């Protein structure tokens, strides 16, 4: 996912926040105490899908959900007006979102997840191959090209395969073969071919055997790896 796409989503979130703030300010006009007026009315209370209670402020396709202390928890955007949010920005009390969930095809199911750091920079993008939550996470470099891909094959939210890429080609792969949360295979790749692999056969988290491959993909030898 190019970095520009994440920037566009974050800009939409900022526009929504601006609209919601204008609505809140207008509702407070003449009632905000500092000018001798009445205290401002609190937004209506609603119960979220998570069972928690929020104050809701809406403007057009945007809905902002605040906690009891007035901290923004999430911002929803309904792009096609079908009553279901197509983008949900999770702020968790911060000015910039931590994660944005996107329903690209408007079927009510999240297709893409975007993670951001505290400065609002896109960190990685998640997609789903099975429709049960993100199982592929892609991290891109400044040029928008992927530099890292993480695959969760068993749905436990831990990567079972991690690929390192350069100029669009895989250069290294780490594999958790036994799905215990620790890497036990380390592969090096050159020009789209497996060039070598180190194995952890005694499950201590460190490689102890090395496989060497020829240019034709055949195994040339197996040798021990010196303790590090």
Domain segments of the chain: what residues?
1-118, 145-228
Strands 72-77 and 62-66: antiparallel
Tell me the torsion sign for CA atoms 207, 208, 213, 219.
Answer: negative
According to the model, what pLDDT value does residue 4 have? 47
Which residues of the chain fall below pLDDT 50?
A: 1-4, 22-37
According to the model, what pLDDT value does residue 93 have? 93
According to the model, what pLDDT value does residue 226 have? 81
**DSSP 3-state of 36:** coil
According to the model, what pLDDT value does residue 18 have? 61
According to the model, what pLDDT value does residue 1 have? 45
- What pTM value is reported for the model? 0.78
**Of the candidates 226, 10, 188, which has an alpha carbon nearest to the alpha carbon of residue 114?**
10
According to the model, what pLDDT value does residue 8 have? 63
45 in Cβ contact with 53 (< 8 Å)? yes
């Amino acid at each position: 996912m190019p970095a520009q796409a994440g920037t566009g989503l974050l800009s939409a979130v900022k526009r929504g926040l601006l609209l919601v703030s204008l609505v809140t300010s207008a509702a407070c006009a003449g009632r905000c105490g500092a000018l001798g007026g009445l205290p401002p009315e609190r937004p209506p209370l609603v119960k979220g899908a998570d069972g928690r209670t929020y104050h809701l402020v809406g403007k057009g396709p945007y809905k902002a959900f605040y906690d009891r202390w007035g901290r923004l928890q999430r911002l929803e955007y309904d792009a096609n007006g079908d009553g279901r949010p197509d983008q949900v920005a999770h702020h968790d009390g911060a000015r910039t979102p931590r994660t944005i969930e996107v329903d690209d095809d408007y079927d009510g199911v999240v297709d893409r997840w975007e993670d951001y750091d505290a400065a609002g920079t896109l960190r990685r993008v998640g997609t789903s191959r099975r429709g049960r939550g993100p199982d592929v996470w892609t991290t891109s470099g400044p040029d928008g090209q992927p530099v890292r891909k993480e695959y969760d094959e068993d749905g436990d939210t831990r990567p079972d395969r991690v690929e390192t890429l350069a100029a669009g080609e895989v250069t290294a792969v780490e594999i958790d073969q036994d799905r215990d949360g620790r890497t036990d295979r380390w592969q090096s790749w050159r020009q789209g071919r497996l060039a070598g692999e180190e194995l952890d056969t005694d499950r201590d988290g460190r490689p102890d055997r090395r496989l060497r491959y020829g240019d034709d993909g055949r195994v040339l030898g197996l040798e021990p790896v010196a303790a590090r």
